[in-house]
Amino acid sequence: MADLKVGRLAVYRLAAEKRIPVFKVGGAWRFSRSEIDQWIREV
Protein backbone atom coordinates (compact mmCIF):
# COMPACT_ATOMS: atom_id res chain seq x y z
CA MET A 1 0.00 0.00 0.00
CA ALA A 2 1.24 3.47 -0.82
CA ASP A 3 2.21 5.82 1.96
CA LEU A 4 0.12 9.00 1.90
CA LYS A 5 3.01 11.03 3.36
CA VAL A 6 0.62 13.31 5.22
CA GLY A 7 -0.07 13.70 8.90
CA ARG A 8 -2.93 12.13 10.80
CA LEU A 9 -4.74 15.45 11.18
CA ALA A 10 -4.51 16.08 7.44
CA VAL A 11 -6.08 12.68 6.74
CA TYR A 12 -8.92 13.38 9.18
CA ARG A 13 -9.45 16.79 7.57
CA LEU A 14 -9.62 15.20 4.10
CA ALA A 15 -12.08 12.63 5.43
CA ALA A 16 -14.29 15.27 7.07
CA GLU A 17 -14.32 17.21 3.78
CA LYS A 18 -15.20 13.98 1.88
CA ARG A 19 -12.12 14.39 -0.27
CA ILE A 20 -10.84 10.90 0.57
CA PRO A 21 -12.84 7.62 0.63
CA VAL A 22 -13.96 6.97 4.21
CA PHE A 23 -16.86 5.60 6.22
CA LYS A 24 -17.78 5.69 9.89
CA VAL A 25 -18.43 2.72 12.14
CA GLY A 26 -19.73 3.62 15.59
CA GLY A 27 -18.31 7.13 15.33
CA ALA A 28 -14.83 5.97 14.28
CA TRP A 29 -13.38 6.67 10.84
CA ARG A 30 -12.61 3.59 8.74
CA PHE A 31 -10.68 3.45 5.49
CA SER A 32 -10.92 0.69 2.90
CA ARG A 33 -7.40 -0.17 1.79
CA SER A 34 -8.52 -0.96 -1.77
CA GLU A 35 -10.48 2.31 -2.04
CA ILE A 36 -7.54 4.33 -0.70
CA ASP A 37 -5.16 2.58 -3.14
CA GLN A 38 -7.50 3.38 -6.03
CA TRP A 39 -7.92 6.98 -4.85
CA ILE A 40 -4.12 7.40 -4.80
CA ARG A 41 -3.84 6.04 -8.35
CA GLU A 42 -6.50 8.51 -9.55
CA VAL A 43 -5.11 11.63 -7.84
Q: pLDDT tens, 1-43?
A: 457 788 889 988 998 899 999 999 998 989 998 998 898 888 8
Residue 1 covered by a domain: no
Q: What is the pLDDT of residue 8?
A: 86
Is residue 2 included in any domain, yes or no? no
Question: Within a domain: residue 12?
Answer: yes
How much is the pLDDT for 1?
Answer: 46
Structural domain contains residue 3: no
Domain count, the chain: 1
Are 23 and 30 within 8 A, CB to CB?
yes
Would you give the DSSP letter of residue 30? Answer: E
Is the pTM here over 0.75, yes or no? no
Residue 36 sits in which domain range? Answer: 8-42
How high is the pLDDT of residue 2? 57
Q: What integer pLDDT is reported at residue 6 of this predicted model? A: 85
